[in-house]
Structure 1
């Protein structure tokens, strides 16, 4: 009787453990979501004059809006507490797909799909994305997000930057956490070459 009970107990316990393991495998996210593979869906712009951008520095989210409709939503990285991304409403003042950093250190480093706002020193552009504020005030975007947003906005498109936006509680919550902190930086020979911009046109960066 005891031996039979123990056998049944062990068999039931094993089944429970197997089921738990399968459930864990089905729900656990293995690895890291890198910005290089993030490809946000985008609805077409039908009324360019109604397009505006919303940037939430608290949630680190950018929303391309047409009226009250979200056309594209993406994670981003914003400025740190000591070098914050400015709040307010500003127009996009310039667009340069193949811009490079002009100041040192890092002169020549690509700032692909550059869209300036506030002043010539602040802009949105491709860059390594992390799940915490990490820039000197600029807004880093995944490569495919930067490419799509660049093609959706024009000089004069307004960007409203605030600590939060209503979209943070809806579509913003569905976006993945992106973390490029473990990605190796491509060699400078590549970053300083024309190839980096050719790859950007394909929505990629280096071999990622």
Structure 2
């Protein structure tokens, strides 16, 4: 289940030219690192927690070889991988998402879907991304969404005794006898344990 992140993110993602990318921060980051890939927008956003730290143009699967949507942990990493399916084609900085051939890797990036299902990244972006991810890093492939989301297992939401987060605003004292009202300026910022991001993986 996907819940909106408490962080505010720009509603209109920055436009990038085919093969373009930007890193907004150099790291090191607190994590968890994860990615959201939009097939319709042909873009990937990289997050440190709920903070956007990088973005790039991508090329996903074309007609007949579509990239499936869903949540995928990185299963395998290989810096100089070659395809086992497509004529030994080079797949630099390969990060496998499924065992049937879907992966992130550096490759031709024309700005539209052109792969056999993999998600092609600009070479320099793929190289840096390879260095900051690890096995289990979550990749969320969507149709259009690029904003961050918390992945919370349905068993947690169904447990009436569980609590993900909770806080109560302090009340301001009333000077005219009326009921006190919440002091919204005193409401604490929402903090979420990074483990929540990995909760979905632990239930697979």
- Could you tell me how far 1:42 is from its partner in structure 2? 4.6
The answer on whether the counterparts of 2:36 and 2:146 sit within 8 Å (CA) in structure 1 is no
1:28 corresponds in structure 2 to none
Structure (1 or 2) with the greater helix fraction: 1
Quick check: 1:73 aligned with 2:42?
no
Deviations 1:96-124 (A, max 9, x none): 001112334x32x3100000103251100
Quick check: 1:85 aligned with 2:84?
no
Which of the two has higher C-alpha Rg? 1
Quick check: 1:150 aligned with 2:130?
yes
CA distance, structure 2, for counterparts of residue 134 and residue 113 of structure 1: 18
2:80 corresponds in structure 1 to 98
CA distance, structure 2, for counterparts of residue 47 and residue 67 of structure 1: 8
Quick check: 1:131 aligned with 2:111?
yes
Q: 1:67 to 1:135 in 2, by over 3 A?
A: same
Structure 1 length as normaliser, TM-score?
A: 0.58
Unaligned stretches of 5+ residues in structure 1: 1-32, 168-208
Unaligned stretches of 5+ residues in structure 2: 1-16, 148-204
Structure 2 length as normaliser, TM-score?
A: 0.59
1:63 corresponds in structure 2 to 45
Give the secondary-structure state (helix, strand or coil) at the position aligned to 1:112: strand
Deviations 1:21-67 (A, max 9, x none): xxxxxxxxxxxx663xx45225214224x111111011011111112
Number of corresponding residues:
131
Q: 1:89 to 1:142 in 2, by over 3 A?
A: same
